[in-house]
């Protein structure tokens, strides 16, 4: 939920935006809020109070699109009660489905693709009072990165887009089709944005891109992710820098050395392996082998002591045999990721893998998904236990949602840490007093997903 930003002049139309999918989508929602705010739109806390409901969507798996269609289905009755209500679908699924959305859901007014966000205010103006269908999915549309730094959910951390799109065309993936060709922002633009964020109290930034390791392609001079990190690290006020996502084929010693040397850059890599079988990696068009992935992890650990690796895996890719799957299990068991996102293969229309027969039956996909999840859980539990008794620096995020009266923060390696506020801090103001501060806690207990700490 996006709450109402401060300092708005109230316009007649109140907007509610619901975000699905990845961090890139969360940032696109922020950028949209920025462009709507500038044009005087205001924001509803609750969708029932909204004049405009926008769903910012994901297409990466079939299930994600189903979810949005089912939400749109349940919004039909709201639209019948209030015919003035404007309903819009934004982002990847809008780009992917286009006017098919109007055919299936005629009560939707707006279908706005991934490169059209900055035109949202005028598109909504066009629909307002007319109840018509507007389709805006121009592939040559330009992304406007001109964000209002104040439009953030949290004062002390922010996502910063350093590149858009993807040129990799992994055979299963729809992203290059819905987000377009890879494009890197200039160092100057990024540095300016991060300085503005720092001036606004931001302490932690996460650089975003589909493949941040190939950042700089197409820019003048020798610009790489490593050189960008070296420009960002000295900015006053920025204490922590993360970057996601890293493609193994573009990981370099130069990047890892920057991570190791720069005090602000955190010891964490999200580097999806996808599979441990070379046969499957080749069919996925990933352009590396399982041995290369292992070497990269080893190199990362030797250059950056204590670095944690997170991965994504797809199980049940076409033609995946028991032996291929066992290679994936072996890879995860050997490299011991801190966490993994594990997905069942979902065929996407238009991708190269659609040519292959989706021959792994659902039950097998489910089984393999379960086996890998259990293995990851075991590794995470064991790794977290190794943290007991250690003192770690955390950036406090606020009150724990699941644990009333306790606070939550993250380590530089992205562990979630729940801890009790110090006794001398007044209970009522404790969250606001500590949120956004860096403190040290000693880890006393843990599960697979959470560390529990005490302030020493």
Which residues are at the interface with ligand SF4 (CB under 6 A)? 166, 168-170, 173, 175-176, 210-211, 247
> Under a CB-based contact definition with an 8 Å cutoff, are residues 194 and 205 in contact?
yes
Identify residues 258-297 at the interface with ligand 5AD (CB under 6 A): 272, 274
Of 309, 301, 369, 373, residue with least CA distance to 338? 309
Q: Closer CB to ligand 5AD, residue 87 or residue 284? A: 284
To ligand 5AD, the closest distance from the beta carbon of 272 in angstroms equals: 4
Whole-angstrom Cα distance, residue 406 to residue 324?
A: 44
Among 36, 208, 226, 314, indicate the residue that binds ligand 5AD (CB under 6 A): 314
Whole-angstrom Cα distance, residue 358 to residue 336?
A: 29
Widest distance between CA atoms in the chain: 64
E-only strand ranges, 165-280: 183-184, 204-208, 240-244, 268-270
Q: Which residue is nearest to ligand 5AD (CB)?
A: 312
> Under a CB-based contact definition with an 8 Å cutoff, are residues 359 and 378 in contact?
no
- From the list 131-139, 252-260, 342-350, 372-380, the region that binds ligand 5AD by CB under 6 A is 342-350
Contact between 240 and ligand 5AD (CB under 6 A)? no
Residue 54 belongs to what H/E stretch?
Answer: strand 52-57
Residue 187 phi/psi, 5° resolution?
Answer: -60, -45
Contact between 348 and ligand 5AD (CB under 6 A)? yes
Of 76, 72, 78, residue with least CA distance to 93? 72
Q: Closer CB to ligand 5AD, residue 61 or residue 115? A: 61
Helices marked H in 251-355 — which ranges? Answer: 253-261, 278-283, 290-303, 322-335
To ligand 5AD, the closest distance from the beta carbon of 348 in angstroms equals: 5
Q: Residues binding ligand 5AD: what is the number (CB under 6 A)?
A: 12
To ligand 5AD, the closest distance from the beta carbon of 202 in angstroms equals: 26
How far is Cα of residue 440 from the mean position of the Cα atoms in its chain?
A: 27
Contact between 257 and ligand 5AD (CB under 6 A)? no
Residue 211 binds which entry of ligand SF4, ligand 5AD, none, CB below 5-8 Å type-dependent: ligand SF4
Residue 210 binds which entry of ligand SF4, ligand 5AD, none, CB below 5-8 Å type-dependent: ligand SF4
By CB under 6 A, name the binding residues for ligand 5AD: 60-61, 172-173, 272, 274, 312, 314, 343, 345-346, 348
């Amino acid at each position: 939920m996006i709450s109402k930003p401060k300092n708005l002049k109230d316009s007649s139309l109140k907007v509610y935006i619901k975000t699905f999918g990845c961090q890139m989508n969360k940032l696109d929602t922020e950028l949209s809020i920025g462009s709507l705010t500038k044009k005087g739109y205001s924001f509803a806390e609750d969708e029932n109070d909204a004049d405009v409901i926008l769903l910012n969507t994901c297409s990466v798996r079939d299930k994600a699109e189903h979810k949005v269609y089912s939400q749109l289905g349940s919004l039909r009755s709201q639209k019948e009660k209030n015919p003035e209500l404007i309903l819009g679908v934004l982002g990847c699924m809008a780009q992917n489905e286009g006017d098919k959305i109007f055919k299936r859901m005629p009560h939707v007014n707006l279908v706005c693709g991934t490169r059209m966000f900055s035109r949202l205010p005028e598109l909504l103006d066009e629909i307002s009072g007319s109840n018509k269908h507007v389709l805006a999915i121009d592939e040559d549309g330009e992304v406007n990165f001109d964000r209002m730094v104040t439009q953030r959910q949290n004062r002390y951390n922010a996502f910063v887009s350093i590149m858009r799109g993807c040129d990799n065309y992994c055979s299963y993936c729809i992203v290059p089709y819905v987000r377009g060709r890879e494009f890197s922002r200039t160092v100057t633009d990024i540095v300016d944005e991060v300085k503005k964020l720092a001036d606004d109290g931001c302490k932690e930034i996460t650089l975003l891109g589909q493949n941040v390791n190939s950042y700089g392609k197409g820019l003048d001079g020798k610009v790489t992710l490593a050189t960008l990190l070296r420009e960002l690290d000295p900015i006053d006020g920025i204490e922590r820098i993360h970057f996601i996502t890293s493609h193994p084929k573009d990981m370099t010693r130069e990047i890892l050395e920057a991570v190791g040397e720069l005090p602000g850059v955190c010891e964490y890599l999200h580097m999806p392996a996808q599979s441990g079988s070379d046969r499957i990696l080749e069919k996925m068009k990933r352009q590396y082998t399982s041995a290369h992935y292992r070497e990269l992890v080893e190199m990362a650990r030797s250059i950056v002591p204590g670095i944690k690796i997170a991965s994504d895996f797809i199980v049940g890719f076409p033609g995946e045999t028991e032996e291929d799957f066992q290679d994936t299990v072996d890879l995860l068991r050997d490299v011991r990721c801190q966490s993994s996102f594990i997905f069942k293969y979902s065929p996407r229309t238009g991708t190269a893998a659609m040519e292959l027969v989706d021959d792994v039956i659902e039950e097998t996909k489910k089984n393999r998904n379960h086996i890998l999840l259990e293995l990851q859980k075991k590794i995470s539990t064991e790794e977290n236990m190794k943290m007991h008794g250690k003192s770690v620096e955390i950036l406090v995020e606020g009150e724990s949602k699941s644990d009333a009266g306790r606070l939550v923060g993250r380590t530089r390696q992205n562990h979630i840490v729940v801890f009790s506020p110090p006794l001398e801090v007044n209970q009522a103001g404790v969250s606001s007093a500590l949120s956004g501060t860096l403190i040290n806690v000693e880890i006393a207990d843990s599960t697979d997903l959470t560390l529990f700490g005490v302030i020493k």
